[in-house]
Amino acid sequence: MEENREWEEEQAAVLEEIKRKSFWFADWVFPILVAIMAAAVFAGTHMYVKYGVGAFNEVSIVAMLKAGLDGESFGPAAAFGASFLFARILEGSLVGILDLGGSILTGIGIGIPAILLSMKITAPIDNFALSLLTGAVLGGITGGIIILIRKFTINQSNSTFGADVMMGAGNSAGRFLGPLIILSACQASIPIGIGATLGGLLFYIWKKPVAGGAILGAMILGAIFPVTLQ
């Protein structure tokens, strides 16, 4: 028993050493990964503002941004997105898991562009290269804040404060997005709409989330019959 305990302690020490030296476990890598994802999402919002396609978010949330682009107020999109970003930064700092949907997709992808547009600051959204840079900077700041807060708080204990529960808290809402995704795909083009419909139908038959099938179907036929941007 004593030998087994010593062996387990040695293995645990080796594992900790591997984690300490690993690129993927390094704290400084986290802001970089968040910056890369945020750059892509912010550039997607640029595509949506300029061409009407490309936003990385749920249809209902993108509709808030579209309302502002159509001449109404950017207030709902700005308030909704910014509040989600603030909440997810706090959640990520305490839990250790960053909710990509709330922080990057909604916060950086919708909330911050809406704030900039409401202030008549359009350059970061109108220019593709600048949108990539803006998203990367925002993502880096977000990831850096989370790591900084964790250094002075939760890193001093081993608790995760129920990360598994918070991780999947909003996933149950995804079942209602399938029809909305199909409708949005039909508005993009007929082939993409057909792909989304067939994909959603197949996933429904397989008893899988309809939203996932609709997205995959739209992506496949969208790649075969791409939408021409003018």
Q: Model confidence over 151-164: pLDDT tens digits? A: 776 555 444 443 33
pLDDT of 166 reads: 36
Residue 74 pLDDT > 80: yes
Q: Is residue 169 scored above 80 in pLDDT?
A: no
CA pair distance 108, 94, nearest whole angstrom: 20
Beta carbons of 61 and 137 less than 8 angstroms apart: no
Average pLDDT over residues 217-221: 88
Whether pLDDT at 39 is above 90: yes
What's the pLDDT band for 146 if we cut at 50, 70, 90? confident
Alpha helical stretches, state H, the chain: 2-21, 29-51, 59-69, 75-95, 100, 112-118, 123-126, 128-152, 163-167, 178-188, 190-205, 210-224
| Pair 62, 55: CB distance under 8 Å | yes
Determine the 3-state secondary structure of 228 from DSSP: coil
Three-state DSSP class for residue 72: coil
Whole-number Cα distances in Å, 124 to 32, 70, 113: 20, 19, 8
Between the CA of residue 92 and those of 37, 62, 69, 127, 175, what are the distances in Å?
16, 24, 31, 30, 25
pLDDT in the model for residue 158: 47
HSE-CB of 210 using CA atoms within 13 angstroms: 16
User: What average pLDDT does the structure give for the chain?
Assistant: 81
